[in-house]
Structure 1
Amino acid sequence: MPSRSALAGLVALTLGVIVLLALHVIPPTSEIDPVVRTLSQYALTSNKWLFDSAVLLIALGSALGFAAVIRHRDTAPSSAGILLGGLWVLSLLLVVAFTKVNWAVAPGPSLGGLIHRYASAVAFLSLPLAIILIAPAVFPDRPSWRRTARGFAVASIAGFGVIIVGVIRAVAGHGRWWQFVPLGLVERLIGLTGIAAMLTVVLGLVLVLPGQLRTVNGATGTP
């Protein structure tokens, strides 16, 4: 029998991704250019409740996944990987609580908009770092799964690095950072690969044999 928390996390993550993908094809969010506009743009439409629901489902699924890692893979809650995972979940909650600035009507940045922006940045960076750190514990004897999870995580960090290059160029006076790359597309690639890494971890916990699951005290146990 698979870990119940991991299985619930897998379901929540999958539903969250499905809702996010659906926002690309249902009106009015289907009219938003996914190459240029970020995902947070969906929160400025009447489909905000769907966007918020998707993000909350992903946060819930991630929290359940990290809880399963703590329970079954001898990983301390205070370990760097788990703390980064918690930071990812917290950042997603802040993204929902504070909507991005609607530059079509706002005269300038707001406190809530700034919190949203920085929470998004922290979220996109903390998740792949968390996966890189916990993958060896999750897949101690499954190198192909470990490499897959870390591969997705590294790809996510690489995408974030492209945005960092744009910011550095902007600071040096070479144009606006959000025009350096197709921001919407790059953000989606960062999010997609990061969540794919999380899904790999959770799916691995779901498919692992019951005899391989370990409780935090090191004894073999059932979930």
Structure 2
Amino acid sequence: MAGAGIAVILGLELASFDEMDPFRRTISQHGLGPGGWIFGLGVGLLAVGSAAIGVSLARKRLAGVFGMIALMGWSVGLLMTAWFEKHDWSVGPSLSGSIHRVGSFVAFLCLPLAVVIIARPWRRERSRATLVAFAFGVCSVLWVAGIGTMMIVGAAEGLPWYRVMPLGLVERGLAISEVAALLALGVWAAAGDHSLPSGAGGGPVAAANLTAPHV
């Protein structure tokens, strides 16, 4: 389901490539206009698919409480951005636009945190998928840190934070990193117990690995 949502959003990106400046316009720009429901559908599918990945990880005891809370925060944030459309702030404030903005911030902040916690490479159930997820999670953290730095620079110079960087390009870079990390978690969730180290094929070692609590 997450893959279907990603495919919908990617399709919108490709269809509007000649009409929308990807350097300045954010992904949420697709939510404006008569076809905005398609964007909402794509984001909604991604949110539900992400929650399903989290449930699968939790059922297989591959994700703990803190990781699950962060991953569900990503899903809730996505649902907020899907339900409340982007607002044109040049015409004044908007409750719907404010909720959309909060949702996007929550989503973009929560997923890197969730991935870094869940896919940490020093856990027992390490696999190639977890290493890929962790790498993209760290990359997402760096994107977020860069955005935060630009916001501070903008505030110091008296400029709107969204004008001190090519916001559309930065957001797309962050989105690609986060979606790649999410898909890697999905692969790991699908692999399930096959992701355990080779030494955990049976006996007390395997039992200890399967029953050990995870943060």
Same fold (TM over 0.5): yes
Tell me how large the CA RMSD over aligned residues is. Answer: 2.6
Residue 84 (str. 1) matches residue 70 (str. 2): yes
Whether the aligned pair in 2 keeps the contact of 1:81 and 1:131 (CA below 8 Å) is: yes
Shift in Å at residue 107 of structure 1? 2.1
Residue 112 (str. 1) matches residue 101 (str. 2): no
Cα deviation digits, residues 97-144 of structure 1 (max 9, x gap): 2111124xx52121211111121011001011001111149x734353
TM-score (norm 1): 0.81
Equivalent position of 1:20 in the other structure = 9
Shift in Å at residue 209 of structure 1? 5.3
Gaps of 5+ in 2: 197-205
- Equivalent residue in structure 2 for 1:93, among 66, 70, 79: 79
Return the alpha-carbon distance in structure 2 between the equivalents of residues 38 and 13 of structure 1: 20
Pick 1 or 2: higher relative contact order, CA cutoff 8 A, min separation 6.
1
Whether the aligned pair in 2 keeps the contact of 1:23 and 1:30 (CA below 8 Å) is: no
What letter is aligned with 1:15? A
Equivalent position of 1:148 in the other structure = 132
Q: Give the 3-state SS of the residue equivalent to 2:14 in structure 1.
A: coil
TM-score (norm 2): 0.83
Cα deviation digits, residues 40-90 of structure 1 (max 9, x gap): 1111122211111110111011000000011002544xx111001111111
Return the alpha-carbon distance in structure 2 between the equivalents of residues 75 and 101 of structure 1: 36
Gaps of 5+ in 1: 1-11
Percent identical: 34
Whether the aligned pair in 1 keeps the contact of 2:71 and 2:111 (CA below 8 Å) is: yes
Higher helix share: 2
What letter is aligned with 1:62? S
Q: Give the 3-state SS of the residue equivalent to 2:91 in structure 1.
A: coil
Return the alpha-carbon distance in structure 2 between the equivalents of residues 109 and 61 of structure 1: 32
